Amino acid sequence: MIKVGIVGGTGYTGVELLRLLLRHEAVALTQITSRGEAGRRLDDLFPNLRGATDLAFTDPADAALAECDVVFFATPHNVAMQTVPGLIEAGVRVIDLSADYRLRHVPTWEQWYGEPHTSPDLCALAVYGLPEVNRPAIKEAQLVACPGCYPTSVQLGFLPLLERQLVDTDHLIASSASGASGAGRQGKIANLLTEAGDSFKAYGVGGHRHLPEIEQGLAAIAQSSVNLTFVPHLVPMSRGIHSTLFATLVDTAGDLQGLFEQRYKDEPFVDVLPAGQLPETRSVRGANACQIAVTRPQGRSTVVVTAVIDNLVKGAAGQAVQCMNLMFDLPETQGLNVIALMP
């Protein structure tokens, strides 16, 4: 059994990790930490876990994380970087769901997050945890930086086009909408039902922290620099991301539907819909899945890709478990064969 610890188990990503890991046949969950909830049973805070575990939260200072085989960090930025170096030194494998190790260029991270990075040397060690791109490296990694939710949907959508150099990389556009859980489990006036309900708004138009991560990933795929205009939106639902991606084709002769189907035919968690069908967020709710459609409106030079994921699963916890399976030579789908909830 893989001995697993979780740092920061009180947020939406943390409880989603619990939901998946507590039913994973190869996992023994031994530690879950929270300073504010230390000593409280998990199923007291999250009643959906009643009957699934009798674990209680542990103060991080008292947790025996170094005895784990792998530790997940489901924390805000600036938390993992304080603790991960010691775990790496102790030989523990780490999967970080925060932004601390996603950017390889440390000055860029410091610019976007407004503070010094306390373990910059590990940014070069970290493997970016997008299995559809980095599967071999993830298998060998000691430290995996799990992608953000928006970056997952945008990169998977653009991936086949960029690999084949079919689009103008200087004028990529991503218009993405996320449910309120993307902001985390915390009190914010803007996320109250009476503020966000019956409304739809853009935010971070002048610059969002996921932009450098997305551009870093797209540039690696294209093997050239890219320029992306990224506009995120808040949509009044609890979970889900819908990304609409626009690019200008430099070669209009190819079969785009066939290209996407061929690229993802062996990917267990990417589903290319038949031509003419468009994805909906409800079709992936609760599942570690990305559904994609590719369209060329009116046969013109603009290609439109629509991609949906559950931001808490394929956009966070599910993708992290997918990486863990690869790291420990388990079937990649183990513990993740969950059918999406309908309606």
pLDDT in tens for each of the 343 residues of the chain? 999 999 988 888 999 999 999 999 999 999 999 888 888 999 999 999 999 999 999 988 877 899 999 999 999 899 999 999 999 999 999 999 999 999 999 999 999 999 999 999 999 999 999 999 999 999 999 999 999 999 999 999 999 999 999 999 999 999 999 998 877 767 677 777 778 788 999 999 999 999 999 999 999 999 999 999 999 999 999 899 999 999 999 988 789 999 999 999 999 999 999 999 999 999 999 999 999 999 999 999 999 999 999 999 999 999 999 999 999 999 999 999 999 998 8
Is residue 138 in some structural domain? no
Annotated active-site residue 323? The verdict is no
Q: In what order do the strands lie in the sheet with 172-178?
A: 201-202, 228-234, 172-178, 241-248, 302-309, 290-295, 270-272
**Helices (DSSP H) in 22-98: which residue ranges?**
42-45, 80-89
Q: How far apart are the C-alpha atoms of 144 and 260, rounded to whole Å? A: 27
If asked whether residues 105 and 243 sit together in one domain, one would say: no
DSSP state of 224: S
If asked whether residues 213 and 259 sit together in one domain, one would say: yes
List Cβ neighbours of 253 (8 Å cut-off, separation of 6 or more): none
Is residue 168 in some structural domain? yes
pLDDT score for 19: 94
Of 91, 125, 159, the residue at which a domain comes to its end is: 125
If asked whether residues 158 and 283 sit together in one domain, one would say: yes
Q: How far apart are the C-alpha atoms of 177 and 235, rounded to whole Å? A: 6
pLDDT score for 227: 98
Is residue 66 in some structural domain? yes
Under 8 Å between Cβ of 18 and 42: yes
> Which among 198, 201, 159 has a CA at the least distance from the CA of 178?
201
The torsion angles phi and psi of 94, rounded to 5 degrees, stand at -130, 135
pLDDT score for 182: 79
pLDDT score for 303: 98
Under 8 Å between Cβ of 106 and 206: no
If asked whether residues 154 and 84 sit together in one domain, one would say: no
Q: Look up the domain containing 198 and give its range.
A: 150-311
pLDDT score for 188: 76
Among 68, 149, 290, 323, the active-site one is 149
pLDDT score for 296: 97
Is residue 341 in some structural domain? no
Question: 111 exposed, middle or buried (CB, 10 Å; 0-12, 13-18, 19+)?
Answer: exposed
pTM: 0.95
Is residue 343 in some structural domain? no
Domain count, the chain: 2
Report the CATH number at residue 69. Answer: 3.40.50.720
